[in-house]
Amino acid sequence: MKKTYWLTLASLSAALSLGLAACGGSSSSSGSTSNAAYNAGATSVVNPSTHTGGTVTYVSPADWDSIDPGNTYYGYSWDFSRLYARTLLAYQSKPGSAGMQLVPDLATGLGQVSNNGLTWTYHIKPNIKFSNGATVTTQDIKYAVERTASYTQPGQPAVLPNGPIYWGIFLQDATYPGAYYDKTPGKMGLTGISTPNATTIVFNLRKPMAEFNYLATLSQTSPVPPSADSGANGGVNYLKHMVTTGPYVFQSVQVGKQYVLVKNPYWSAATDPNVKQLADKIVVNVNVNASTLDNELFSGQADINVSGTGVSPADQARVLTNPSLKQNADDVLNGFFAYTAINTKVAPFNNPHCREAVLYAADHASLRTAYGGTYGGQLATQVLPPQIGGYIPGYDPYGFNTQPTGNLTAAKQQLSLCGKPSGFSTTIAERQNRPNEDAGALALQAALARVGIEASIYSYPAGNISSVVGTPNFVHQHGLGLMMYLWGPDWPAGFGFLNAIVNGAAITPAGNSNLEELNDPVVNADLDNVMADNSASGRSATYSAIDKQVMNDAVILPIVYQKALLYRNPQATNVYYNPALLMFDYGQIGVK
């Protein structure tokens, strides 16, 4: 999910008196332990414990896009899936800078690169078991990649549309139709991946990918036995019958309501030091009303908000003014970027001046307030967050800092240049049960009305993101010119942040994340070539150039670099913020 900037968090407002160390933290603080205190979980482990038993209860204001590791793109899904879906590599389970370190999971070590950067080889640990007792092989990992949306061909509906598409971008055999359309005898599969034996997997690339080890952390490398993903139990239904590899297995799946996990008897801690099997049971209640959700946390009925979005704006003051609640909260700049995507295919936004009118007319002060004010985020003026290599300090091409309530004169000038001097009508899409997006849409609607842009609001279930704003045809048919969105890096570098949201090659028929449908040849070329650069500083310079070009295209209205006031039940153990996961590390949590 997206985001070498990770090594330090941007300074937080002194007025908040947060006293946070850098995201990386000093070596003395990383991995330290502490009792409950405000921001203790930002840099150290709160309530360290090896106690087993009990139930950890998570709550969420919305449902997942999917709990299937091969069909998900939500950051909290990638974090939570570590409890049941192991991957080739993982981020070290520690707070601070140590949490940014890549470590083996299924693999015995990091990838071995050869052939001028075009071949990456991994060896996996022997005798790792599925939850049904079968032994995991590299063929199961290969199949897991083959079943993803990376290999949906034009004219074919994606069976699993939600996940990232990096495999199709970098691996050989771009014409592979995907596991569900593979008609070759014996299903020979994707030629870009070979499995010389049951513990070796080789990825053959079409072009160099300097950061390939980060791809090996994605949940799409979680093994799936083909026999379990077939017939009535396959494809979109696999999530109800998953064969897991992590410390837990699903006892029940009620999509849209509740998920219950229990211990996987075939999981071995000896092969998996990255997660713990502490609780006897894990319960996740989804689609919980925001105010109800916060009350359940504060009263101890629930332990953690699994979405990682933090306490709702309506309840933040309640936490910050009550010492008994505040000591169980952490306010972190979490690496997510809140913005409004402006779709270039929905009229009149095919005209860049109409897009610029939106950027100038927006009231950035009210938008920041909608996202929680000082505690909710840092005013954004460009695309890259300050923690990512390539961020340009002081870059503010539309003057958001100097004119925080908007520049109506400039907005009207742009409306005249786009042939709409009196304004126009459009629609803002936002997700239900996302209070920030709801308030942000209303704030943007009011600001645009000042210059004659009349925007209606289209609200949809958060779990439908792939089929609504993520489906270009739906966007065009419903005139969704403006879309509230939240994005975090797929991995801690600029490519992992930018590619999916601004590369024209990343536009897909469903599960699309380039909501602007930007297809700028300059941006595309830079993203196409940057992974051949083995210099981190050289890649950062390219990411800066991409950021400037995207802002010049006026397809993204930056809102805030999000902060989240994360609340932890004092009964929860081993709680800390992991800067690579962008939220609490769910793989460690138990209860007293």
The predicted-structure confidence for 527-537, as pLDDT tens digits, reads as follows 999 999 989 89
> Three-class SS of residue 555?
coil
242 inside domain? no
Instruction: Indicate the DSSP class of residue 580.
Output: T
Taken in order 525, 529, 530, 535, is the CA torsion positive or negative?
A: negative
For residue 372, the number of C-alpha atoms closer than 13 Å in the C-beta half-sphere is 30
76 inside domain? no
Residues 261, 227 share a domain: no
Owning domain of residue 517: 336-564
**46: which strand partners?**
34, 575
Using omega within 30 degrees of 0 as the cis cutoff, is the peptide bond preceding 348 cis? Answer: yes
Indicate the pLDDT class of residue 350, thresholds 50, 70 and 90: very high
Structural contact between residues 389 and 493, judged by C-beta atoms closer than 8 angstroms: yes
Residues 296, 398 share a domain: no
Residues 422, 529 share a domain: yes
Tokens coding 403: 């004119």
Q: From 396, 349, 344, 354, select the one nearest 502 (Cα to Cα).
A: 344
Tokens coding 538: 């050289």
Structural contact between residues 333 and 564, judged by C-beta atoms closer than 8 angstroms: no
Place of tokens 């995207």: 550
Indicate the pLDDT class of residue 65, thresholds 50, 70 and 90: very high
CA separation for the pair 587, 94 (Å, rounded): 11
CA separation for the pair 91, 579 (Å, rounded): 10
The domain tally of the chain equals: 3
pLDDT at 30: 45
Which domain-ending residue is among 186, 209, 235? 235
Residues 350, 487 share a domain: yes
575 inside domain? yes
79 inside domain? no
331 inside domain? no
pLDDT at 32: 67
User: What is the average pLDDT value for the chain, to the nearest integer?
Assistant: 91
CA separation for the pair 381, 370 (Å, rounded): 16
Residues 575, 556 share a domain: no
Q: From 373, 370, 364, 368, select the one nearest 402 (Cα to Cα).
A: 364
**Where does residue 250 fall: left (phi above 0), alpha (psi -120 to 50 degrees), or beta otherwise?**
beta
The predicted-structure confidence for 96-137, as pLDDT tens digits, reads as follows 989 999 999 999 999 999 999 999 999 999 999 999 999 999
Residues 214, 104 share a domain: yes
**Phi, psi dihedral angles at 524 (to 5 degrees):** -60, -45
Q: What is the mean pLDDT of residues 25-43?
A: 68
**Phi, psi dihedral angles at 359 (to 5 degrees):** -60, -40
CATH number of the structural domain spanning residue 300: 3.40.190.10
Neighbours of 378 (CB within 10 A): 18
Indicate the pLDDT class of residue 386, thresholds 50, 70 and 90: confident
545 inside domain? yes
**Phi, psi dihedral angles at 226 (to 5 degrees):** -55, -35
CATH number of the structural domain spanning residue 462: 3.10.105.10
Residues 301, 428 share a domain: no
Residues 176, 30 share a domain: no
> Three-class SS of residue 202?
strand
pLDDT at 217: 97
Q: Which residues contact 141 (CB under 8 A, 6 or more apart)?
A: 88, 106, 124, 201, 221, 222, 223
Structural contact between residues 590 and 276, judged by C-beta atoms closer than 8 angstroms: yes
Per-residue pLDDT at 589 exceeds 60: yes
Residues 408, 381 share a domain: yes
CA separation for the pair 77, 82 (Å, rounded): 9
Residues 528, 486 share a domain: yes
CA separation for the pair 98, 101 (Å, rounded): 6
Per-residue pLDDT at 556 exceeds 90: yes
The predicted-structure confidence for 468-522, as pLDDT tens digits, reads as follows 999 999 999 999 999 999 998 999 889 999 999 999 999 989 889 999 999 999 9
pLDDT at 28: 32
Residues 558, 581 share a domain: no
The predicted-structure confidence for 23-33, as pLDDT tens digits, reads as follows 222 233 345 67
> Three-class SS of residue 138?
helix
Round the CA-based radius of gyration of the chain to a whole number and report it: 23
The predicted-structure confidence for 409-448, as pLDDT tens digits, reads as follows 999 999 999 999 999 999 999 999 788 899 999 999 999 9
The predicted-structure confidence for 196-243, as pLDDT tens digits, reads as follows 999 999 999 999 999 999 999 999 999 999 999 999 999 999 999 999
330 inside domain? no
What is the DSSP secondary-structure string of 315-329? HHHHHHT-HHHHTTE
Torsion of CA 542, 395, 581, 78, to 10 degrees: -70
Residues 573, 554 share a domain: no
Which domain-ending residue is among 171, 205, 235? 235
88 inside domain? no
The predicted-structure confidence for 292-346, as pLDDT tens digits, reads as follows 999 999 999 999 999 998 898 889 899 999 999 999 999 987 888 999 999 999 9
Per-residue pLDDT at 279 exceeds 90: yes
